[in-house]
Amino acid sequence: MNDVRVAAIASLTPLEELDSEPFLVDTRGQHAACARWADERGYVLVRRLLFYGVRPDHDELWADVESGEVDVFVAANEHVLARALTSVPGFRAECARRGVRVETADAAPPRYDAAARAAVHRRLSMPTAGYDGT
Flag whether pLDDT at 1 surpasses 80.
no
Bridge partners (DSSP) of residue 5 are 44
> What's the pLDDT tens digit per position in 10-61?
998 888 888 888 998 899 999 999 999 999 999 999 999 999 999 999 999 9
Q: CB of 11 within 8 A of CB of 80?
A: yes
Q: What per-residue confidence (pLDDT) applies to 61? A: 93
Q: What per-residue confidence (pLDDT) applies to 133? A: 47
What is the torsion angle, in degrees rounded to the nearest 10, for the CA atoms of residue 48, residue 88, residue 54 and residue 97? 80
Over the chain, what is the mean pLDDT?
89
What is the torsion angle, in degrees rounded to the nearest 10, for the CA atoms of residue 67, residue 69, residue 74 and residue 79? -40
Flag whether pLDDT at 86 surpasses 80.
yes
Q: What per-residue confidence (pLDDT) applies to 127? A: 60
Domains of the chain from N-terminus onward: 5-129 (3.40.50.1390)
Least confident piece of the model among 17-31, 74-88, 119-133:
119-133
The percentage of residues in the chain with a pLDDT greater than 90, rounded to a whole number, is: 66
- Identify the residue with better confidence: 32 or 125: 32
